[in-house]
Amino acid sequence: MLIRTVLLVLFSTLLLYAQQGFSFENKIVNVSGKGCKHGIEKLHDSPYAVLVFCEDALGSYLSIIYLDKMMAPIDGAWSLDNRYWQHDFWSRDVTSYYFDSLNTLLFISTSEIYGEGGIYRLDLKNKKFKKLTASTLKDGKVYQIQTVDRKKDILKYVVTMDGKIEQKASIPLR
């Protein structure tokens, strides 16, 4: 009887998430080179969207917008008259991003060519960010998010320079 109840609750929860458009797998979006799509993309199951600027040889740039209607004058670090977020460290020369809708976190990888170079975790609700990789000497390294393993709660990335892989590594999502 207990197993049947658990299965019924699980099935009901999955059905509810499916009806609400819940995504079980969030995608890694490549925004470097020919993979870049200029414009706005709504981040699934959230009030946020990314605005991507594809500047070809000058790199790709990214900012965050609180896109949905606000139900109060303030929502976390966002307000009715403050719906845009961009920071020099994580917004320049973006190569890829991954949105974790369960925790409202955005992971961004950047290049050292025009940007700071590294992997960043952005807490969207509170407009806070943290660099998750060690700083280097700005010698042209390119960081790229490769995969996300939700079971192990890790993000895998690769660092290249002049088209050659210099490092493969992983970092915890939280």
Listed by start position, the domains of the chain span 24-172
Sign of the Cα pseudo-torsion (136, 138, 141, 142, in order): positive
Calculate Rg over the CA atoms of the chain. 18
Tell me if 35 sits within 8 A of 55, measured CB to CB: no
Q: Decide which of 170 and 8 is more confident.
A: 170
Mean pLDDT of the chain: 84
| Res. 3 pLDDT band, cuts 50 70 90 | low
Above 60 in pLDDT, residue 101?
yes
Above 60 in pLDDT, residue 143?
yes
Q: Report the alpha-carbon distance of residue 72 to residue 23 in Å, rounded.
A: 26
76-89 CB burial, b ≥16 within 10 A, e <16 = eebeeeebebeeee
Residues 48-65: what's their mean pLDDT? 94
| Res. 171 pLDDT band, cuts 50 70 90 | very high
Q: List the single range of 66-70, 99-103, 104-108 with lowest mean pLDDT.
A: 99-103
Q: Three-state SS for 142?
A: strand
pTM, two decimals, is: 0.82
Identify the pLDDT of residue 173: 86
Q: Mean pLDDT highest for which of 23-27, 85-89, 135-139?
A: 85-89
Q: Decide which of 113 and 120 is more confident.
A: 120
Tell me if 43 sits within 8 A of 27, measured CB to CB: no
Residues 72-94: what's their mean pLDDT? 95
